[in-house]
Amino acid sequence: MTLCTLPGTATMSRTISIDPVTRIEGHARISLQLADSGEVEDAKFHLTQFRGFEKFCEGRPYREMPALTARTCGICPVSHLLASNKACDDLLAVSIPPTAEKLRRIMNLAQLLQSHALSFFHLSSPDLLLGWDSDPAQRNIFGVMAQNPELAKQGIKLRQIGQTIIEMLGGKKIHPTWVVPGGVNEPLDSSKREAMLEMLPNALTIAKDTYALFKTMVPRFKDEAEHFGTMPTMFLSLVSPKGQLEHYDGFLRLKDAEGRIVEDMVPPSDYPRIIGEAVEDFSYMKFPYYKPMGYPNGIYRVGPLARLNNADSCGTPFADVALAEFHMLQEDSGPVRSSFHYHYARLVEIIFAIEMMQRLLKDQGILDTRVRARARGNRNEGIGVAEAPRGTLMHHYRIDDAGLISWVDLIIATGHNNLAMNQSIKQVADAYVDGNKLSEGMLNRVEAMIRCYDPCLSCASHAFGQMPLSIELKDAAGNTLDRLVRDA
């Protein structure tokens, strides 16, 4: 990734690059550019933190990469752990034992369960239950607890079940080290399997009840569904060899806004052929795009919305029913285009994750003790791709003959959505910005729209009720007309 500076904000750029607190906090900034007519001409989502993982990993032994890159995030470390280990499997040139793959899948699904539960129940439910125009002082998790305490309890329970399964498999909830290059370092024992299976029926009941509740709420959000990121984009995700919903392996599929398959069954190792990365001077987040269409026309979205749009089916009973209902959200026969429906897609995926974990845990080979293939580095380049809760995650490493990392490229889910998030902000601004004055309601909706994507800006957007955010309104000459700041 190329370092860039923010034009005209040299002081801020310097501060960000040298202040670790600022980097950790991950504040986001949004700027809106007005045309002479007063209409919004451009919108930019600035990620003003710099992490530098791709650079400081250079020179490290490749076996350190899973532990190093997992530190990218405290919410989705499992996703990085899996993608990194898959890249290391590729460096080893091994095929991991089937049981190891199933166990990794279970951990990935448990991660998806806890992360989606966090996004829906704790981060987005204040918007959904209390409304965009409610008092910001009340529009938080305590407001949800007051209005619907059972929903908050259920969110806690789902997240606890996901985290407990991760802990049972990996030894700890945050930054587990159980997944290793070549497989996993310990087989599953029967007592843990039984304990996991005992928890999952309760999880499925909660998931189905919540799904049923949200279905009744969706019609209330007609306006938001029409304005929260409905622009035509493509959708990228992994699918299984049969075209089904896939989170761990499989092949890349890209559909266009009308539902036509643009790329299909692309081996993950071939991603550099179809994905390019652009850099803009206003953000530290890269801008991936579909190479054959160029930048920025090659805009696409990833994550739950894309995965459900791309999947022919889920392959589990309740999730398949929910998938059919998901497709009915779009009036025409094309993919579901509104980013507001990321929330819906998350609930479908929670159901799928629970059903699939049950299936995998009941697999007769799941207790097999052969769970690791051992080898030394046999290739100088390795690629690992998996579906993180927020979308397709790519780890790409090159090593020298001593096994030291010489080059790293990480394409994270939130990065894939960068172009789409910028366009979504523009759309919300077009709909809600009136003249030269910003309103609290507009700020709330921009914030809520960003939250639909559940972006992982290494913390900044994982906010309860209020995320640290500033919005600037500028005229055609670049003069600041108005500014709203919301501190953490």
Partner 1 sequence: MIDAVAGLLDAQGPGHSRQRPGDAQSRGEHRSVAQPSVAQPAVERPSVKAPDGEQVGGEQAGSGYLPESTASNQQQAAAGPQAARPLRALVIGYGSPIRGDDAIGPLVADRLAAQLAADPALGDGVEVQARHILTAEIVDDLVRAERVVFIDAAADLTPGEVRCCRLAPDTATLSTMAHFHDPRELLAWCAALYQRSPQAWLVSAGGADWGYASYSLSSTAQGAVEPMIAEILVLISPSP
Residues interacting with partner 1, by CB under 8 A?
74-75, 114, 118, 122-123, 140-142, 145-146, 149-150, 152-153, 155-157, 159-161, 163, 172-175, 195, 198-199, 201-202, 459, 462-468, 488
- Sign of the dihedral through C-alpha 440, 446, 448, 454: negative
Q: For the CB of residue 134, give the shortest distance to partner 1 in the complex, in Å.
A: 16
DSSP H helical segments within 269-316, as ranges?
A: 271-274, 304-310
For 46-79, the DSSP string reads: EE-----HHHHTTTSBGGGHHHHHHTT-SSSHHH
Q: Of 157 and 327, which CB lies nearer to partner 1 in the complex structure?
A: 157
**How far, in whole angstroms, is CA 161 from its chain's centroid?**
20
From 82, 54, 99, select the one nearest 405 (Cα to Cα). Answer: 54
Q: Of 49 and 423, which CB lies nearer to partner 1 in the complex structure?
A: 49
Taking every pair of Cα atoms in the chain, the longest distance, rounded to a whole number of angstroms, is: 69
**How far, in whole angstroms, is CA 201 from its chain's centroid?**
26
Q: Of 118 and 207, which CB lies nearer to partner 1 in the complex structure?
A: 118
Q: For the CB of residue 328, give the shortest distance to partner 1 in the complex, in Å.
A: 31
Q: Of 172 and 220, which CB lies nearer to partner 1 in the complex structure?
A: 172
Token pair of 189 as six digits: 């024992």
Q: For the CB of residue 250, give the shortest distance to partner 1 in the complex, in Å.
A: 29
Q: Of 338 and 444, which CB lies nearer to partner 1 in the complex structure?
A: 444
Query: DSSP label at 434?
Result: B
Amino acid letter for position 160? Q
Q: Of 362 and 374, which CB lies nearer to partner 1 in the complex structure?
A: 362
Q: For the CB of residue 459, give the shortest distance to partner 1 in the complex, in Å.
A: 5
Q: Of 337 and 346, which CB lies nearer to partner 1 in the complex structure?
A: 346
Amino acid letter for position 93? A
Q: For the CB of residue 111, give the shortest distance to partner 1 in the complex, in Å.
A: 13
Residues 188, 116: Cα–Cα separation, whole Å: 25
From 238, 241, 268, select the one nearest 255 (Cα to Cα). Answer: 238
Q: For the CB of residue 342, give the shortest distance to partner 1 in the complex, in Å.
A: 17
Torsion of CA 74, 78, 83, 87, to 10 degrees: 100
Token pair of 459 as six digits: 């913390």
Q: For the CB of residue 146, give the shortest distance to partner 1 in the complex, in Å.
A: 7
Which residues, listed in sequence order, are joined to residue 33 by a DSSP beta bridge? 42, 474
